[in-house]
Amino acid sequence: MNRFGESRMRGTGKVRRHRLPVVAFIAVIALAAAASLAFRRDMAEARGPTLGRSEVVDSPWGPIEYADVGSGPLVLMIHGSGGGFDQGLAFTAPLARQGVRIIAPSRFGYLRSAMPDGATVEMQADALAWLMRGLDIERAVIIGGSAGALSATQLALRHPERCRGLVLVVPALHAPDRLPGANAAPDRGTQRMINAVLGSDLLFWAGVRGAPDFMTRMILATEPATVKAADEGERERARSAMFHILPISARKQGLLMDSATAGAPPPWPLERITCPTLAVGARGDLYETDKAAIEVARRIPDARLIMYPDGGHLWIGHDDELWGAVGAFVREVDPA
């Protein structure tokens, strides 16, 4: 081959090498655009359950958001960590279908509820009692899920006249053998990553989409294998529970309060609670709330315990059974 041909081939190689970075750049831009579009779409979908379904009232602790749905025996549903009134409604939808009226507030720092200065679980309980008075609710069955069980328990201790009954579902309460900070990150690097994820809609969304098993274990405190082995309805319930923590930016202050209170709660005088009580736990809960449910049933006079042999923090595989039992309890303590 002559020199001219060799020159042409070398020139073609250079052109091809120069094209590679351009193609890679275009691919990165295309992927970023697709991710941005998916993020905006998912955020719009995640906000859907929070739009037009709640009211806000001014209180001595600032605005309090709540939803009021259904009719029949009355339940005050206090949501767990990462929630808001929307989580409360989603979790108790089976109760509403049984003919139960649901009042679902957003706790301090969640969605449109304020985070007052120096907020405590006791203050949250007082604010919920104030809300009940403002809505002309004399008494209700109080349900507290996960971190919401702290406020529910304090409501029963501080305002027993408001509590017709108490239901504590996977309660993040004190138990002597419950490890402080159960399900905490195994090292500081992982904890810093989790803190960053919890502070950003984009990072949390990326975690949900890109590392669902990690998020299921660290946020939902349930082994991914438990979710994967469940039926499609339960798998969808787990996905929805995770997805609708978005927008996490609207729940960040509440999450920070929960991390400071629910990880290592103090012991309280549960023996003073006099209303009928039902405690529900599930084995395999990485937050170890099954131990707290046992402690609740042991210390509250005449309390009942339901303990599922598996299911983790989301009681996977037992949702219909759980809400059937809670509905029966509500009708028992509020037969009218």
Q: Which amino acid makes up residue 3?
A: R
User: Residue 121 has what pLDDT?
Assistant: 98
pLDDT, one tens digit per residue, over 110-146 is 999 999 999 999 999 999 999 999 999 999 999 999 9
Is residue 242 within 8 Å of residue 216, measured between CB atoms? yes
- The CATH number of 55-180+255-333, from 3.40.50.1820, 3.90.226.10, 3.20.20.70, 2.40.160.20, is 3.40.50.1820
The predicted pLDDT at position 4 comes to 46
% pLDDT > 70, the chain: 88
How do residues 72-99 score in pLDDT, each as one tens digit?
A: 999 999 999 999 999 999 999 999 999 9
- Residue 34, judged by CB atoms within 10 A of its CB (0-12, 13-18, 19+), counts as exposed
Q: Which residues contact 83 (CB under 8 A, 6 or more apart)?
A: 106, 107, 110, 145, 148, 245, 251, 254
What are the strands of the beta sheet with 74-78, ordered from one edge? Answer: 55-57, 64-69, 101-105, 74-78, 140-145, 163-169, 277-282, 304-308
Q: What's this model's pTM, rounded to 2 decimal places?
A: 0.88
Query: Which are the contacts of 154, defined by CB distance < 8 A and separation ≥ 6?
Result: 121, 122, 124, 125, 268
Q: How far apart are CA 262 and CA 173, in angstroms?
A: 7
What would the mean pLDDT of 224-232 be, rounded to a whole number? 97
C-beta separation of 153 from 144 below 8 A: yes
Alpha carbon 274 to its chain centroid, in Å, reads 28
- Arithmetic mean of pLDDT over the chain: 90
How high is the pLDDT of residue 199? 77
Res 17 pLDDT > 90? no
pLDDT value at residue 10: 53
What is the reported pLDDT for 195? 74
Cα distance between residue 151 and residue 79, in whole Å: 10
- pLDDT per position as a tens digit, 263-284: 889 999 999 999 999 999 999 9
Kindly write down the DSSP assignment for every residue of 167-191, as one continuous string: EEES-----TTSPTTTT--SSHHHH
Q: Assess contact for 64 and 56: CB atoms under 8 A.
A: yes
List pLDDT tens digits, range 287-321.
Answer: 999 999 999 999 999 999 999 999 999 999 999 99
Q: Would you kindly state where each structural domain of the chain is located, as residue ranges? A: 3-48, 55-180+255-333
Contacts of 72 (CB under 8 A, 6+ apart): 98, 99, 100, 101
Q: What's the rounded Cα separation, in Å, for the pair 41 and 292?
A: 39
Q: Is the pLDDT of residue 9 over 60?
A: no
Instruction: Using pLDDT thresholds of 50, 70 and 90, give the confidence band for residue 332.
Output: very high
Structure-model confidence comparison of residues 4 and 72, the more confident one:
72
Q: Of all residues in the chain, what percent carry a pLDDT higher than 90?
A: 74
